[in-house]
Amino acid sequence: MQDKKGFGNTRLYYRIKYSPRYRPKIKIQEEDNENHVVELSERGVRFLYEGTRPLRKGLELHVTILFYDGAVFQFSGNLLRVEKKDVILRFSGSLPPSRIVEEQRYLINRTFGHL
């Protein structure tokens, strides 16, 4: 697949981008604060970090993602990017594709009403 400039699309997984109102929460193991998910894919997450612990690229984290419907997923992974509060974690496993579909439905229903 090519974009308008003729470059290939290098993304292997579909990403969900959340508006601030509907962001799931993400907690880092051994920390009390809850952070908010900005983008989510089957293999990783981008979130806003509100903690005080210094984070750096390559650091392994254990996280729990808390979804609107009470679903909870636990992952470990390594940090790919840390820029101020903007953090990207690549999961060592995968989020089930069915969860991605459920999140898409949730966001569509919240944005456009029940279709």
* DSSP per-residue string spanning 51-80: --S---TT-EEEEEEE-TTS-EEEEEEEEE
How far is the C-alpha of 37 from the C-alpha of 87, rounded, in Å? 10
How much is the mean pLDDT over the chain?
89
* pLDDT value at 48 more than 50: yes
In the CATH scheme, what is the homologous superfamily, with its name and number, of domain 16-112?
predicted glycosyltransferase like domains (2.40.10.220)
Query: Which pTM does this prediction carry?
Result: 0.84
Task: State the pLDDT confidence band at 114, using cuts at 50, 70 and 90.
Answer: low
Using one digit for the tens of pLDDT, what is the confidence trace for 4-42? 555 555 657 788 999 999 999 999 999 999 999 999 999
Mean pLDDT over 63-77 rounds to 95
81 strand-pairing partners: 88
CB 87 within 8 A of CB 55: yes
Domain boundaries of the chain, sorted by first residue: 16-112
Q: How many CA atoms lie within 13 A of 77 on its CB side?
A: 24
User: What local confidence, expressed as pLDDT, does residue 13 receive?
Assistant: 75
- How does residue 64 score in pLDDT terms, banded at 50, 70 and 90? very high
